[in-house]
Amino acid sequence: MYVAVGQFAVTADWEENARQCVALMAQAARQGAALLVLPEALLARDDNDPDLSVKSAQSLEGGFLQRLLAESLRNDLTTVLTVHVPTTPGRAANTLVVLREGKVIEQYAKLHLYDAFSIQESRLVDRGHQIPPLIDVGGFRLGLMTCYDLRFPEMALNLALAGAEVLVLPAAWVKGPLKEHHWATLLAARALDTTCYIVAAGECGNKNIGQSRVIDPLGVTIAAAAEAPALLMAEIDRERVTQARRQLPVLNNRRFAPPQLL
């Protein structure tokens, strides 16, 4: 199965961002991808207004997603991204959505909010309370995660134990000392923890690193972007998962029960 990962710099104009997403969807479909993963928080971003993503929140019936859903009707892609959805006045949920055949087939409110490195996502964003279900794409079972979830190995482990063979991760990984190193290390670690493929999309721009990657179940990077806009394509293979789990049976060898959601 071919997977695509799109990264771009989100602007302050949601209509421009929707056009960019639609263009990436069309390009990925033309190139034969079954799955497209886009970055986190795609409605709007402004370097001078860190709250714009929440201020610009739209319902799932809003104009942004309706444009993407219209494009979804034209192709066979499963597209994964996140947007902010209003909850109470002035607040929102950072919501991962899965689009297919013109419908939102799954959604997931981010469990782990980025209250770290002098940023407090929870100031305006409500955390989720449920581990997302798995979805099926091209005969693979996919687990859903968002950005900061990557730092919590128990989440990836829960998804793998539930049957995930691929973990998808929309992200907007903030630049900073050692942050690029953290990103690369954690992506490889989660692949090795779970013997899953990792398909991670990073938002690029002045404040976020980009560096989208596809990593195989033995921690090998098979496709990678730098800091500029890009569309990655990679082929993933179920036999590679089977082989990795035969050589490195960490899911069977573990001695601890899986942790529970608090």
pLDDT at 98: 98
pLDDT score of 258 more than 90:
no
Question: Tens digits of per-residue pLDDT, 21-75?
Answer: 999 999 999 999 999 999 999 999 999 999 999 999 999 999 999 999 999 999 9
Radius of gyration (Cα) for the chain, nearest Å? 17
> Which residues are designated catalytic?
40, 110, 147
Q: Which of 184, 179, 198, 191 is nearest to 236 (CA)?
A: 198
Bridge pairing between strands 197-202 and 166-171: parallel
Which of 60, 4, 51 has its CA nearest to residue 27?
4
Backbone angles phi and psi of 110, in degrees to 5: -50, 125
Confidence of residue 261 (pLDDT cuts 50, 70, 90): confident
Please give the single-letter amino acid code of residue 213. Answer: R
**Could you give the CA distance from residue 39 to residue 63 in angstroms, rounded to a whole number?**
18
232-260: average pLDDT: 95
C-alpha closest to that of 191 among 157, 225, 144: 157
Q: What pTM was estimated for this model as a whole?
A: 0.97
In this prediction, residue 257 carries a pLDDT of 86
Q: What is the pLDDT of residues 85-97, one digit of tens each?
A: 999 999 999 999 9
- Spell out the domain ranges in the chain: 2-248
DSSP state of 118: T
User: Residue 3: is its pLDDT beyond 90?
Assistant: yes
The reported pLDDT for the residue numbered 262 is 79
Per-residue pLDDT tens for 158-177?
999 999 999 999 999 999 99
Between strands 213-215 and 221-224, the pairing is antiparallel
pLDDT at 122: 98
3-state secondary structure 51-102: CHHHHCCCCCCCHHHHHHHHHHCCCCCEEEEEEEEECCCCCEEEEEEEEECC
The DSSP letter of residue 124 is T
Rounded to 5°, the CA angle 64-126-4 comes to 45
**Which CATH number fits the domain 2-248, given the four candidates 1.10.274.10, 3.40.50.2000, 3.60.110.10, 3.40.50.920?**
3.60.110.10
